[in-house]
A and B are shown apart, each in its own frame.
Chain A
Amino acid sequence: MADKYNAETIITETQKRISNAFDVFDHESNKTVDVREIGTIIRSLGCFPSEAELHDVIAELEEEEPTGFVRYEKFLPTVTKILLERKFRPIPEDLLLQAFEVLDQQKRGHLEPEELTKYLTQEGEPFTQEEMDEMLSAAVDPDKNVILYKDFVSMMTFDDSR
């Protein structure tokens, strides 16, 4: 009995969160959001999908005849499932640090902006110039003009651990 109550509560709470996040982007208040905002909404709910994974989700959410909008009726069940299944789990801090260390082949403890730019705009799922600029503005130590990735990672993960 108690378990069932908890399960229901969790689902309701989850759905409330989804609904709130959805509403922020529902500009016309007609329970639709622009498909281009789906990534932002899902990520803000604590998911860490890759771009490819996101495209799959969007494909699932879109109408047969794509209108450019996603309706709440479709959004809610799909995303509820995603959250409850804990798909697209967060990336632990140490794993993130390792990723930076891999890029830092010479083990200097820092990365040059040009290096990081090269990796992130050419490899994996490349950043746009705008994304790269934004990240650099936060990451680059202004005195030394390098990215002290250890500090960067701990600063960013602390900042948002709410």
Chain B
Amino acid sequence: MRAALLIQRWYRQYAARLEMRRRCTWNIFQSIEYSGQQDHIKLYNFFGYLMDHFTSASSQRNLVSQMFRESDMFQDVEWERQFCYKDIEVPDVYGGPHLSFPLTVSIVTELVDAFKNKQKLHARYVLQLLGKTWTLLRLMPNISHVCSCKHTEITICGDLHGHLEDLLLVFYKNGFPSAETPYVFNGDFVDRGKESMEILLVLFAFLLLYPLDVHLNRGNHEDHIVNLRYGFTKEVLGKYPVHGKMILKLLQKIFSCLPLATVIDQKVLILHGGISDKTDLNLIAKLDRRRFVSALRPLTRREADGDDEDVSAGRRRVQSLTHGLTGQSRQELPRHSVHSGSGLTGRSRQELHSGSGLTGRSRQELLSGSGLTGRSRQELHSGSGLTGRSRQELHSGSGLTGRSVDEELRERRRLAGLSLSSDSQLGSAEVLESDAEEWKQIVDVLWSDPMSQNGCVPNEVRGGGCYWGPDVTQEVLDRHKLKLLIRSHECKQEGYEFCHNGRVLTIFSASNYYDVGSNRGAYIRLGPDLIPHFKQFQASRSTRELTLRQSVGRTERSALQALRMQLFTHTSALIREFQEYDPQCTGVISVKHWAEAVEKVLRLSLPWRVLRAQLVTSTRDGTLNYQHWLNQLSVIQTHTEIANTSLLETLYKHHSNLESIFRMIDTDHSGLISLEEFHQTWRLLSSHLQTVISDEAIAELADSIDFNKDGSIDINEFMEAFRLVEQCRGVGEDEPAPQ
């Protein structure tokens, strides 16, 4: 029937356009997420810079050593005394859940219910629970071996990232953990979502209840430095202002005690990130995992150490420690595509290493685009992964070409930034050599991503681990006589995804990760046949009520807002670029030029022309007034009168880094830093970034932020000052859900 045909034809076109929008939205989120992760690398390099450049005379030294003080001198027994909960009283007015030990099923069920009702567990019980968890985890091996023979099916969950609702949804659909329903949770329990603490408490409670049937693998977010940046630290301190520090300290211990992998029936390997060509489960099984507290913390400089230059050069090359040495073929380096199955053919070296979401730009351009010049470009180059050419430069610069592989490795390890507990700092070169190897094994397991191309190369986007190809999967799995690798670490639209000819399976359990409607979560049921079965879900009632069109629209709006913020942080650069196209200074440029300029400045490979309609609402005859557009883009809501807009812009661009640094300075977790500390930090950061910000400007800024003039800055207030508010809400609020 022709009528039916017509309707079908029309609807399919409509659905295709919707799909296009959804895909663009997804790409935006991923581009921004991955380019944001490069901040991590910058932060790491900044720490290295700090270490190298403070002088003993200045008070800067105190600041820095304060930041990196690692008082790990106590033995476990002494720590236990520190973490003692017994003196903490639970007041009568406390209306939350109570715990008593040993735990029972009903106590834990009540705990879950309490969290469902948004209650908070008292700090005393938290510390008690965490203490017992720590005791238990210390007894566990690095790799848990599970047999499916006695169970019907094992359930495997991926990243949860503080989404308690998703965990509860899984329990609802699949049942609580028990001897009959064993679970593996594959890392990244915390950060981003707002209920990371509750997730940990629930998982640990079940672990204590069923230690043989609940298996937790460590993820890259089970790391206190990552937590500083991605929200978990903030959450804990907000929920537990008095005991938060203690809780965080204990969690630091617990995270390093988490097992690294689980193996089912000797055939299925489950770990958080992935593998590299060097992955050796026997090695991993034997190392002391507790020594590796954080992937991101450089080793404090030993007084006895030699040459400044070596130390700093070595540290900056830490990224390259994650993989390989010279001699590796550099022809086919992957580009991390936005769908994470990266890989390409035949691109020239020049175009490579641009990180996720960028096309054809060398990393060099990327860095220069973000306002860095000359010397620092080189530094960051070396720190964050290199094109083949500049790696060469670095090597020849520090006189390392021509060394044998072993020598080179030894040299790097000697200088490498590792995060080991202080007692392992001393010791022979041999100790350090095995340290570096073990560190690499762990970082690879926690941070790597698969790519579609063969080979194994450093993962610069993440700043740690590798990209590994199908040939590596085959080699490693076969070598260990394994059938399947299950990992997490990457968000997938359907909650799960196979790759490498079905031998690698990604499972992700945080639905709506980027925003409501962005993706489903999933979990796996694995029976004795070891064939995975998937269950998908999506939390949030409001999503179910929204039509596809509405949920796409909603996610799209979030993505666009995030994009507008990105545009804002590049205002000055954009203006300069626009002016290139507008020599007569009319204030107007064509839409075509707008797209070209934006692409060039932002260096996010997105379909700008497709997005243009959403980002620029007032065009006329294919032209727009760019100044007007930029003004309209957003307004920074701030209590302070900061006239200097370029300072503001710079601050905003680096605000997440700033926040991480502030939280590190604030070692007593009071939420306050002194004006002097603020000043010092900012001075250091700006000299590292080679931006010109006068001391007066910084002092003024610091002063204007200190609202009550008591000489200290409340970190939260400072960060709050940088919330962007859309000036004109052109697109309306979400449409009401149909009844």
Contact = CB atoms under 8 A, between A and B. Distances in A.
Interface of A: 13, 16-17, 20-21, 23-25, 27-30, 39-44, 47-51, 90-91, 95-96, 98-100, 102-103, 119-120, 123-127, 131, 134-135, 137-138, 142-143, 156, 159-160, 162
A159 B13 CA distance: 13
15 contacts: A21-B607, A24-B20, A28-B343, A29-B359, A44-B17, A47-B13, A96-B6, A99-B3, A102-B1, A123-B4, A123-B5, A124-B1, A131-B11, A135-B11, A160-B14
B9 A49 contact: yes
Contact of A40 (B16, B335, B341, B610): B16
Given A23-B605, A40-B19, A137-B548, A123 B12 contact: no
Given A99-B3, A131-B11, 18 more contacts: A24-B607, A28-B452, A29-B344, A30-B344, A43-B12, A43-B16, A50-B9, A51-B8, A91-B6, A96-B6, A96-B7, A100-B7, A102-B1, A125-B9, A135-B11, A138-B547, A160-B14, A162-B613
A123 B2 CA distance: 9
List the 5 closest A-B pairs by CB distance, nearest first.
Answer: A43-B16, A124-B4, A44-B20, A124-B5, A123-B4
B342 interface: yes
Given A24-B20, A28-B343, A95 B6 contact: yes
A44 B19 contact: yes
Grouping DSSP codes into helix (H, G, I), strand (E, B) and loop, the A interface class, with mixed when no group exceeds half, is helix
Nearest to B360: A29
Given A123-B4, A138-B547, A43 B13 contact: yes
B20 A40 contact: yes
A99 B3 CA distance: 4
Given A20-B609, A21-B610, A29 B337 contact: yes
Given A23-B605, A24-B24, A47-B13, A99 B6 contact: yes
B45 interface: no
Given A39-B12, A43-B12, A103-B3, A137 B547 contact: yes
Interface in B317-336: 335
A143 B8 contact: no
Contacts of A103: 3-4, 7
A24 B608 CA distance: 11
A131 B15 contact: yes
Contacts of A24: 20, 23-24, 27, 607, 610
B510 to A, nearest CB: 22
A25 B1 CA distance: 33
B417 to A, nearest CB: 32
A98 B738 CA distance: 27
A50 B10 CA distance: 9
Nearest to A118: B4
A21 to B, nearest CB: 7
Contacts, number: 129
A42 B13 CA distance: 9
Contact of A134 (B339, B344, B548, B592): B548
Contacts of B24: 24
A143 B23 contact: no
A138 B548 contact: yes
Contacts of B607: 20-21, 23-24
Interface string B379-412: 0000000000000000000000000000000000
B9 A28 contact: no
B549 interface: yes
Contacts of A20: 607-610
A120 B4 contact: yes
A49 B16 CA distance: 11
A16 B609 contact: yes
Contacts of B338: 27
A28 B341 contact: yes
A138 B14 CA distance: 12
B23 to A, nearest CB: 5
A51 B605 CA distance: 31
B501 interface: no
A123 B8 CA distance: 10
A99 B4 CA distance: 7
B100 interface: no
Contacts of B11: 127, 131, 135
B738 A142 contact: yes
Contacts of B343: 28, 30
B8 A160 contact: no
A121 to B, nearest CB: 9
A142 B739 contact: yes
A122 to B, nearest CB: 8
A91 B547 CA distance: 23
Contact of A28 (B19, B20, B342): B342
A73 B320 CA distance: 36
B282 interface: no
Nearest to B345: A30
Contacts of A156: 14
A144 B87 CA distance: 62
A135 B663 CA distance: 49
B346 to A, nearest CB: 8
A112 to B, nearest CB: 15
Contacts of B549: 138, 159
Contact of A119 (B1, B14, B548): B1
A119 B3 CA distance: 9
B165 to A, nearest CB: 22
A100 B344 CA distance: 47
Contacts of B608: 20
A141 B82 CA distance: 62
Nearest to A53: B9
Interface string B577-604: 0000000000000001000000000000
A26 B144 CA distance: 39
B4 A25 contact: no
A159 B556 CA distance: 14
A41 B3 CA distance: 25
Interface in B452-467: 452
B591 to A, nearest CB: 10
A102 B20 CA distance: 31
B20 A48 contact: no
A100 B605 CA distance: 41
Contacts of B17: 43-44, 160
Contacts of A138: 547-549
A24 to B, nearest CB: 5
Contacts of B609: 16-17, 20
Contacts of A131: 11-12, 15
A102 B3 contact: yes
B550 to A, nearest CB: 9
Contacts of B16: 39-44
